[in-house]
Amino acid sequence: MGSDLDTYKGMRILVMTSVQAEKEAVLRGLCNEDQFDVMVAGVGSVAAAISTVSVLHTSQYDLVINAGIAGGFMDQAEVGSVVVADKVVAADLGAQTPEGFLSLDELGFGSSTIHLDQNKVRQVAEALQAAGLPVATGSILTLSTVTGTAATATALASRVQGAVAEAMEGFGIASAAQHYQIPFLEIRTISNPVGPRNRAAWRIDKALEALEAASSVLREVFK
Ligand SMILES: O=C(O)c1cccc(C(=O)CC[C@H]2O[C@@H](n3cnc4c(=O)[nH]cnc43)[C@H](O)[C@@H]2O)c1
């Protein structure tokens, strides 16, 4: 029986990364498969949204994927593993109050959460797992500020149910894709734990290797 992802076979897929090193890792994994276009979106949700809109305004795609590296929440996603978002959450979009954080939803100004197609999420996660990659599925948080303390990491993990990882672009790219009614996936590999800042300990090399491996699975899944 055909899967949901079979409908994407041979279709046009746009992959947005934050930086050039991520783009190169994705391209190595995709082996220059011409079904995919890979572009650098820039760092942060606003830059990434603008870049994505400028591409989608002039070119047709059937699926948008945000791929890159991320921080992994403790006991949810280890360094070198892959995370697939089932939800994208703009986790710092809202208001701080003495009683706690209020999301955009709670303020009545829209939603801080973009829900993704659970069938696609599950099938991509299963394909990555079948290829032998360690995979976690859950909420990937989009933040303007990289978490740098244990207290913030704990607060985010308890405030956002099912948080597996944090990065800085997903919500912007997903919002752009949603505007053009194009399905979206966020797939990241973990370079560092979310917590006290120790930039020297980030394993970017390991995360980029995993990103290349995950991208080669994507090439097979959508071929
Ligand atoms: O220095 C390098 O060689 C290098 C190579 C690839 C990527 C980078 C980045 O700094 C990418 C920035 C990008 O990474 C995401 N990210 C990674 N870890 C976290 C985190 O703990 N919290 C939030 N974001 C994270 C994020 O999406 C950045 O845009 C450098």
Nearest CA owner, ligand 1 atom 17? 70
Range of the domain at 67: 4-222
Q: What is the mean pLDDT of the chain?
A: 96
Domain holding 168: CATH number? 3.40.50.1580
**Atom of ligand 1 lying closest to residue 194 CA:** 21
Q: Which pLDDT does position 3 carry in this prediction? A: 62
Residue nearest to atom 6 of ligand 1 (CA): 21
Residues 111-130, mean pLDDT to the nearest whole number: 97
Check if the beta carbon of residue 93 is closer than 8 Å to that of residue 38: no
Question: Looking at residue 198, what is its pLDDT?
Answer: 94
Q: How many domains does the chain have?
A: 1
In three-state form (DSSP H/G/I as H, E/B as E, the rest C), the secondary structure along 21-43 is HHHHHHHHHHCCCCCEEEEECCC
Distance 10 CA to ligand 1 centre (A): 30
pLDDT for 127 beyond 80: yes
pLDDT at 1 over 60: no
Instruction: Of 25-29, 65-69, 196-200, give the lowest mean pLDDT range.
Output: 196-200
User: What residue's CA is closest to ligand 1, atom 29?
Assistant: 43
d(CA 96, CA 22): 33
* 3-state DSSP assignment of residue 136: strand
Per-residue pLDDT band at 7 (split at 50, 70, 90): confident
Averaged pLDDT, 136-165: 98
Which tens digits make up the pLDDT trace of 84-116?
999 999 999 999 999 999 999 999 999 999 999
Bridge-based pairing state of the strands 82-90 and 113-115: antiparallel
Which of 16, 17, 18 is the pocket-test mutation for ligand 1 (most atoms within 8 Å of CB)? 18
